[in-house]
Amino acid sequence: KWHPARDHLRGTAKYGTPSKFPSAPAWSIKFDKTPFTEFLFATGDCQRWLIAKKFSVMAAYANQPRWIEKSSQKNSRYQARWYNRWNIPHEPWISATDHGSAVHSGHILYGENNFGNIHASRVLPNHMGANVWIRKKVVKKTCAHLDGGGWTRVRHVP
């Protein structure tokens, strides 16, 4: 079954005990007050995943194209059709491909309200569950990220 949360990814749901182990029972921490710009939805084995901007996820939509920055399907920006209707407790449905085909191919990466059916059975037991991650991506305006990053600027001339 999918996540017990029913907060439409607002980050207000808190349940279970956080754990690094994929076999742990479902858990969630609050993140509604944490500044972030991107979501990473990934299976527990990291074989299926997608990165999407917060604004692409946090809106109302029904079978509408939403932007995915990159995924296990494609290493560049593209769109997939998702659902997030505020009155449906098991949404949003976030997937690496269009929702309709993702249900059958096991490419659903997020759902709520303990929803089961093939939405869950085609992916969760085969990929060690699923996780949601967030980050605040900072746009690099320097060269410090080149060749793996770690650079510290020590000299400059205008």
Mean pLDDT of the 110-130 span:
92
Summary mean pLDDT of the chain = 90
DSSP code of 93? B
* Percent share of the chain, pLDDT over 90: 73
Using CA atoms, how far apart are residues 38 and 9, in angstroms rounded to an integer? 12
Using CA atoms, how far apart are residues 104 and 123, in angstroms rounded to an integer? 10
> Hey, which residues does 42 pair with through a beta bridge?
49, 131
pLDDT of residue 153: 67
Using CA atoms, how far apart are residues 17 and 5, in angstroms rounded to an integer? 14
The tens digit of pLDDT for each residue in 15-74 reads 999 988 878 899 999 999 998 889 999 999 999 999 999 999 999 999 999 999 999 999
Q: Is the pLDDT of residue 149 over 70?
A: no
Q: Is the pLDDT of residue 155 over 60?
A: no
